[in-house]
Amino acid sequence: MLAWNEHFLHMCDMSQARNSAFYLPHIDGLRALAVLFILLFHLDVPFVGGGFVGVDIFFVISGFLITQLIYRDIHAGTFSFEEFYARRVKRIFPALFTMLLVCSVVAVFFLGPREYDDFFRALRAASGQIANVFFSKEVDYFAVGHAHSPLLHTWSLGVEEQFYVIWPLLLLLAMKWGGRAWVFPVLALVGLISFGISVHLTHSDEMHAFYLLHSRAWELALGGLIGLNVLKPIVNRRLANTIGFAGLGLIFMAVLGLDSEGFPGVKAALPCVGAAMFIYAAKGCDGQTLVHRLMGVKPLVFVGMISYSLYLWHWPIIGFYKSYFGAGLEPLEQVLMACAALVLAYVSFRFVEQPLRHSPMSARKTLVTGLAVIAGFILVSNIVKRADNEPWRVTYKLDESILRPNSYYRQCAAEGAAYAHKDACTIGPNKEGYEVILTGDSHAGHYMPTVLKWAEENKLTVRMFLRVDCDAFLLPGKKIMRQGKVDESCMQLQKDFHEILKNETHIKYVFLSLRKATGTGEEKRAFEQIAAYGREVVYLGSVPEFKDHPHDCQMKNNLLASKVFPRKQQDCLTLDHAYSDSMIEAANSTLRPLLAQLGIFHFDPVPYVRTAYDAHGNFMYLDNNHLNTYGADYLEPYLDNFLKEKGLLAN
């Protein structure tokens, strides 16, 4: 224990001595707080709901330190793009690609087929420093159960590396065209524009607001403005101490009080301004205020020094574990994973980061090596990805028939399909004077065969107004953003649905379905308007859901790794009604009284779907929340009886 303590103290002292002119212990302390907040947030520790803001703090710190170095070298006439990017490669690549290599090996043995494919697509993006762009189209960072990608955390590295492609050039141009006096206002303007974009996108396209450079650059720019040394330093120690503590207070307010709704936007200013205040307050007093000395204590400095490696390794440990064993974490599991992350981070820092960061390799060789490593990882990932369904990896073969959606789903529910196949999506004898409309999102899609059978028995024609990822029956007028673009297809679908329902008198019946609808906000207004059109309206409720994708679960139970590491969930194909029913009832508690008040019939499938199998032993689920054709056929007689009881038959 004494030997370890001596080594720990020696390591911290050596780090300070290594670059004593520029080393700031309190910055490592701030890094430590940032990475610990992120770690606790990802471990699902209570009361740290805003721990994700640790990344924002990292952005401010990075902007401060790197801008300071760039500006110093430009001012001295010694700045070199080649040297700058070589230093970035030595700083970032060794630990990053070591982590990517280890994760690739783990993925081969522990990821199911769907996640396996997603992993290697993410690996290529992370290798190319564009993980943020990739995830902006794939994964909601805050989505429960959908954000276990072991490489999700690499999005922030993408933001930083893209920022430092542009930032040095911007500094150089500002210095060249206007001298030192131009630098601060030009960079401040860039930061303000980026902040405005962030606020705007947060309300129109949260995925792009969260992941992409143009909505995050202001956070790095904020740190950079402090690094320029233009602002007058605070020499009054008492005032500096007060501002430093106030900055930490803002950070803790963000960590303890923020949630994901409306983030980043204005909310991100809380931790970023807090970090900026803390850093700025130290400049005039050489970090010798009480608050900065407290943040510079050796245990915090130690964690701060390994913070990059800790950030890299903590999430793969948690992500792989949650993906393989299940999302819920027990306290002991949380402690063990935190310890494992700290150990791996130290090993990575000591034996990977430090030796290669201080390698004598020339700048040009470093850059060529970095490009070769990127190309190699992308090439190898394409090869390894092909092992997805090899029998040595997965010993279970899934019945493909249960994975097929109904025959109308792809042609009538895919984006734009309702227009591309208008005739094909009007089913029945009277295509011009159809009497029935089915509308909603993908859950309306899995009800297609059920509604069509009822319509066929009653000699009615059904027109599909639905689409995946589109709340098709909501009131039109609101701009809908999807993957950074205006979703014209969904907006047109909403407009056409309401215009047709308002003006076409041949429509008698309207079937609606929307996953987890609560009947509040926009949904409430849409239900009220649809009821006012005077048609017979039926809401088709949500079916019971699995916690995990049942087919992926089955595949994981038959991975070769499962022979050594048995999964918690051995039974993947049995519905957990305690979980599912409570979730659906939470939505129905507000939806049910609204529908009753408006005279909309509510078909609730939950009482009928108490098992995932039909009477012939066919599994009825396409994934964890959609029925396949077997499931739709199973519900048809129950819906038919329900509609007969309500008197909804053809005249």
- pLDDT interval class at 649 (50, 70, 90): confident
- 263 three-class SS: coil
pLDDT at residue 165, rounded to an integer? 95
Q: What is the distance between the alpha carbons of residues 399 and 450, in angstroms, rounded to a whole number?
A: 23
pLDDT at residue 110, rounded to an integer? 87
pLDDT at residue 14, rounded to an integer? 40
- Answer yes or no: is pLDDT of 407 > 70: no
For 554-593, what is each residue's pLDDT tens digit? 777 777 777 778 776 667 778 888 888 888 888 888 999 9
pLDDT at residue 394, rounded to an integer? 66
Residue 544 near residue 577 (C-beta atoms within 8 A): yes
- Answer yes or no: is pLDDT of 10 > 70: no
Q: What is the residue-averaged pLDDT of the chain?
A: 86
Burial readout 159-183 (b: 16 or more C-beta within 10 A, e: otherwise) = bbbbbbeebbebbeebbeeeeeeeb
Q: What is the DSSP string of 491-512?
A: HHHHHHHHHHHHH-TT--EEEE
Residue with tokens 């990822």: 469
The stretch 500-527 carries a mean pLDDT of 90
Helices (H) and strands (E) in the chain, counts: 27, 8
pLDDT at residue 468, rounded to an integer? 80
Burial readout 77-89 (b: 16 or more C-beta within 10 A, e: otherwise) = eebeeebbbbbbb
Flag the least confident range among 147-161, 184-198, 319-333: 319-333
For 218-272, what is each residue's pLDDT tens digit? 999 999 999 988 888 888 889 999 999 999 999 999 999 998 888 999 999 999 9
Q: Which residue has the higher pLDDT, 404 or 470?
A: 470
- Answer yes or no: is pLDDT of 17 > 50: no
pLDDT at residue 13, rounded to an integer? 41
Class of domain 403-645: alpha beta
- Answer yes or no: is pLDDT of 7 > 70: no
Strands 509-513 and 536-540: parallel
pLDDT at residue 403, rounded to an integer? 62
**Neighbouring residues of 293: CB distance < 8 A, sequence distance ≥ 6:** 26, 287
- Answer yes or no: is pLDDT of 328 > 90: no
- pLDDT interval class at 6 (50, 70, 90): very low
- pLDDT interval class at 553 (50, 70, 90): confident
For 436-488, what is each residue's pLDDT tens digit? 999 988 888 889 889 999 999 889 999 988 888 888 888 887 877 776 677 78
Q: 269-283 vs 217-227: helix axis angle to the nearest 10?
A: 10
- Answer yes or no: is pLDDT of 516 > 90: no
For 71-100, what is each residue's pLDDT tens digit? 999 988 899 999 999 999 999 999 999 999
pLDDT at residue 9, rounded to an integer? 36
Other Cβ atoms within 10 Å of 127 Cβ, number:
24
Strands laid side by side in the 462-466 sheet = 426-427, 462-466, 436-440, 509-513, 536-540, 601-603
pLDDT at residue 320, rounded to an integer? 92
pLDDT at residue 483, rounded to an integer? 64
pLDDT at residue 623, rounded to an integer? 85
Q: What is the distance between the alpha carbons of residues 257 and 53, in angstroms, rounded to a whole number?
A: 11
For 130-143, what is each residue's pLDDT tens digit? 999 999 988 788 76
For 579-629, what is each residue's pLDDT tens digit? 888 888 888 889 999 999 999 999 999 999 988 888 888 888 888 888 988
Q: Which residue has the higher pLDDT, 121 or 470?
A: 121
Residue 432 near residue 457 (C-beta atoms within 8 A): no
C-alpha separations of 363 from 157, 358, 367 in Å: 21, 12, 6
pLDDT at residue 390, rounded to an integer? 66
Cis peptide bond upstream of 264, omega within 30? yes
pLDDT at residue 406, rounded to an integer? 62
List every span in the chain annotated with CATH 3.40.50.1110. Answer: 403-645
Name the helix (H) or strand (E) containing 370: helix 363-385
- Answer yes or no: is pLDDT of 650 > 70: no
Q: What is the DSSP string of 47-72?
A: T-TTGGGHHHHHHHHHHHHHHHHHHH
- Answer yes or no: is pLDDT of 51 > 70: yes
